[in-house]
Chains A and B, each alone.
Chain A
């Protein structure tokens, strides 16, 4: 009798939720064919109530489980997609809803890895399961996956223990390919509608102690990395961005907190924010009602899908608390994440010009004096040292700006550098804080220095391209 009364409400909530945003990216584009009927409607990450997070970057506790729930069948036994694993969670679904990727590990002492499976848990494949931790998978439109993986670089932030970069791999294995070469903390990739990978990246800032996270975008081949959102007004610890089908971006953020080991070894991301879909560079709007949620995902109606405490649900615009989905979850668990298992528009693809056989990449600035460094006369390119992010690295090249302020240089690929502008006397007039890299055969272009992400260039042929690019080889220390 109770079940009979409850079902319509569950169904109504399910309909709302199924029409809501995907948790791993989405876009406005021609729809894909609907997947065949599936008994599973939601993929929910649960963990024993009160369990602590085992790893801050991975963001899951030991014993987490990834369950497939059919809200239309309240009596159905949830499918355990991570059966046989010690921990599993953080599901992401392909645009056609035919494959699932998730994080898991076989034993509590094993590294975290990325796995894929069918929506019912069958056909499980190990994508990045090995010596290094891997986390936060997201599907690329071509069927590959992008995820974060620990790398042996120096860790810039003690609370996160290791350095991380983004990698791309095929579903089912093969050696992952590293695509980001920044400041050593590139996390939480997800897909924008235009096919770019959006991720959270730590940047060193202008001086010791001023480092912070920001949202960046990069093409799936590692080209064109650029800041999308994040400045001094944003909480410095910014994590787990998610994209709705209408382009709305949500993320959680918080502060660096002092811990037992000294300053800056603690982090907390407990506030929820939403960005304007048309202008993600603008200031984020905080959603107080979603405070404390580990992850928030935009819903199509402008609300959020929020997992919090023992349940998850839709947080309507202006509502105070999430509406519970109230599905058949196990007792005594906390819900860590909930992802609708539904088809959504496929993000745009990207055909790469990167050629791993090439030992060069190029950087073209159309006007390094734009918007606010009129006194710049020369550009100085320094190596960025991840072990000493605030130190001046070795000078790789220095060259005059062209008359129109442009410069065109050739660099070693996959190597972070920082760009300084100096005046005629050699004194610094601008110093980049964000390391830049180029992929093999990539020519990166920028309008100026520290330009806003919405600046469109003037229609001029830059003087610098009338000559060949200035080469950084051989490297000369200075």
Chain B
């Protein structure tokens, strides 16, 4: 073969290989993209959608509005609508139903409040750990104020000179004097404080927490309502809502005597044998007597009709009717507040409950579009965000939609459809709950559950986060579900929803959306927002990666962190026995959980026995079975934990 022919042959082979490689790569890319699409979709999932420079997922320029929280000006003419994916707050003219301006808070907005005089708007910025104050007319940002970690809910005090901010990530409330006359203070609140409201008389500020306290997993969980003095910011009372969690909205009664908290009332300690009658969970309004702290849990779930994922609540001007949103059944419930208060005597917390009680005060329900989240009164109307429909609905006091502003008229893509499936409770028997009910924000509710399929009373396990779950197969604590499809398909229908299996298109959209979820962001240690202790983190990293004890003796591979928690995900996808098998567990071999966002996932271990990261290694009977740690000092453990917090 001549040299020329050899060269030609080589070129031809290279061309074939290159072409073939391109074809293979394109085929793989198409299959990969199809993971997040559904049959018949256009190529609506681009590489850039998920793989920006802040991989794996970044804010896309074409992100849908996804309206979340809102507030309305005192005159009822303007609504300020938080659109987190677009990192802006829309200013909407309620009468004309048009967007007339926007606020760019410089990050992902969490919540919004309007000052009593209507001149200013406060917007929390979740990812910069700030609250910004903007001009309500033009939307320009005037001042920025540091808060705790991941601020969400915000409220002005009665004078408009002070802000109360719920710091979800640092479990506290920032009390900020906007004039700077008084130093900012942080008051401890519940677990993931989320929403804030000021009483009509201005005397009290209520902060509700999204997650229940982390404690004894054999006892009912409880969520804290923190009541602060509206003038001084001092904590006046801490009220526990038994078995409640996912409290993401709060309002005061017109007389300022009651705090009304839409919430999920969990039955996580009861074996999941059925779904009806609120056996797994029920939607409730928790009514808290401000003066005494007494709590009544009043069901919104009716005997044969669930009220999943209670969301926003707003009252009519006279306070006699409350409109309460269900983010799962896509409805608004019309609640007679006089009848609600009259029923309190029969709604003692932590006792078997008659769901027909709801019929005394729930006058009816009206339909809304996908995942209504927030509601605020605008004169004699109400403004509602229909989050996953990208719309803002304007309702009358009977819940009837009298107008609607479409923020995005394009049809939902596969990811949006998957997110809608995730939030839709109509897939569960009688609409009692959605996937989201246990996985708020696709994360975890931090509760343990007793599934029938494992044996009643056996293998009681902690609910796990879905964020950053892609690539961390298998699933379930015993690792028996190889794929998300299996986890969310027949298994979900048999052991949880007790209804139909998702149809193929819905399941594919749902799984695609779950695969697209980024892990939760690292959460710095409590009390620190910007000041991550880099030196401690570096020392912790060395401990995480070490192969020898402090005395120089080698650590066997089975005792090293990295053997099982291989980064970047922090799991090998295998199972391991770390000495945590309990008397009612069928096995001691458990799936090695991934570590991304581990700081946000308390409690820990398969049965939630460790309430903190430190307890993983300091509980009795697990010495050195879960990694060699007995030679570490308290300071060493702190360093190790600091490292883990950064994952």
Residues of A within 8 A of B (CB): 29-30, 141, 192, 194-195, 224, 247, 278-282, 348-353, 362, 364, 366-367, 370-371, 408, 443-445, 447-448, 451-462, 464-467, 469
Contact = CB atoms under 8 A, between A and B. Distances in A.
Contacts of B265: 459
A364 B270 CA distance: 10
Contact of B304 (A30, A194, A408, A458): A194
B299 A465 contact: no
B223 interface: no
A30 B351 CA distance: 35
Contact of B282 (A29, A194, A367, A456): A456
Interface stretch (B450-458, B538-546, B550-558, B636-644): B450-458
Given A353-B494, A454-B354, A455-B352, A461 B269 contact: yes
Contacts of B107: none
Interface stretch (B229-237, B271-279, B384-392, B563-571): B271-279
Contacts of A445: 270-271, 273-274, 279
- Interface majority SS (helix, strand, loop, mixed), chain A: loop
A454 B302 CA distance: 8
Q: Nearest 3 pairs between A and B by C-beta?
A: A465-B457, A445-B273, A349-B500
Contacts of A278: 302-305, 359
B499 A456 contact: no
B453 A351 contact: no
A224 B274 contact: yes
Contacts of A364: 271, 273, 456
B623 interface: no
B607 to A, nearest CB: 12
Contact of B490 (A351, A408, A448, A462): A351
A459 B266 contact: yes
Contacts of A465: 271, 450, 456-457
B429 interface: yes
B303 A408 contact: no
18 contacts: A194-B430, A278-B359, A279-B302, A279-B356, A348-B429, A348-B500, A350-B500, A351-B490, A351-B494, A351-B500, A353-B453, A454-B354, A456-B279, A456-B353, A458-B352, A458-B353, A459-B243, A459-B269
Interface in B415-439: 426, 429-430
A454 B457 CA distance: 24
Contacts of B350: 458-459
B57 interface: no
B268 A459 contact: yes
A463 to B, nearest CB: 10
Nearest to B490: A351
Interface string B245-287: 0000000000000000000011111110110111100100000
Nearest to B358: A278
Given A279-B359, A454-B277, A353 B270 contact: no
For B266, B282, B495, B500, the residue with the greatest tally of chain A CB atoms inside 10 Å of its CB is: B500
Q: Of A29, A194, A469, which is in contact with the most chain B CB atoms at under 10 Å from its CB? A: A194
Contacts of A467: 457
User: Which among B278, B452, B495 has the greatest number of chain A C-beta atoms within 10 A?
Assistant: B452
Contact of A362 (B218, B279, B305, B456): B456
A224 B274 CA distance: 8
B239 to A, nearest CB: 18
B301 interface: yes
B19 to A, nearest CB: 45
B355 A454 contact: yes
B188 interface: no
Contact of B356 (A141, A281, A351, A444): A281
B499 A348 contact: yes
B331 to A, nearest CB: 11
Given A351-B501, A454-B277, A457-B277, 5 more contacts: A195-B499, A280-B304, A348-B430, A457-B352, A466-B457
Most buried by A among B218, B243, B276, B457: B457
B32 interface: no
A408 B218 CA distance: 18
Contacts of B356: 279, 281-282, 452, 454
Contacts of A447: 277, 352
Given A194-B430, A351-B500, A456-B277, A461 B354 contact: no
A447 B278 CA distance: 11
A128 to B, nearest CB: 25
B493 A247 contact: no
Interface of B: 218, 220, 242-243, 265-271, 273-274, 276-279, 282, 299, 301-305, 350-356, 359, 426, 429-430, 450, 452-453, 456-457, 460, 490, 493-495, 498-501, 584
Contacts of A453: 277, 303
Nearest to B217: A461
A466 B584 contact: yes
A406 to B, nearest CB: 10
A453 B267 CA distance: 17
A230 B299 CA distance: 24
B501 A456 contact: no
Contact of A458 (B268, B351, B494, B584): B351
B303 A281 contact: yes
A459 B270 contact: yes
A104 to B, nearest CB: 31
Nearest to B267: A459
A444 B273 contact: yes
Contacts of B493: 351
A319 B356 CA distance: 30
B124 to A, nearest CB: 32
A457 B243 CA distance: 12
A465 to B, nearest CB: 3
B98 to A, nearest CB: 31
Nearest to B272: A445
A363 to B, nearest CB: 10
A443 B273 contact: yes
Among the interface residues A30, A447, A453, A456, which one has the most CB atoms of the partner chain B within 10 A?
A456
A457 B267 contact: yes
A455 B282 CA distance: 12
Nearest to B244: A459
Contacts of A195: 429, 499
B355 A456 contact: yes
Nearest to A353: B494
A456 B456 CA distance: 19
Given A456-B279, A457-B352, A459-B265, A408 B456 contact: yes
Contacts of A194: 276, 304, 429-430, 499
A443 B452 contact: yes
A455 B429 contact: no
B245 to A, nearest CB: 11
A141 B500 contact: yes
A78 B255 CA distance: 66
Contacts of B279: 445, 456-457
A228 B145 CA distance: 57
A443 B426 CA distance: 24
Nearest to A224: B274
A462 B452 contact: no
Contacts of B450: 461, 465
A350 B274 CA distance: 12
Contacts of A348: 429-430, 499-500
A245 to B, nearest CB: 14
A141 B500 CA distance: 9
Contact of B499 (A192, A351, A353, A466): A351
Contacts of B276: 194
Of listed B243, B452, B498, residue having the most chain A CB within 10 A = B498
A368 to B, nearest CB: 13
Contacts of A141: 500
Contacts of A455: 277, 352-355
Contacts of A30: 426
A443 B430 CA distance: 20
Nearest to B305: A278
Contacts of B270: 366, 445, 457, 459-462
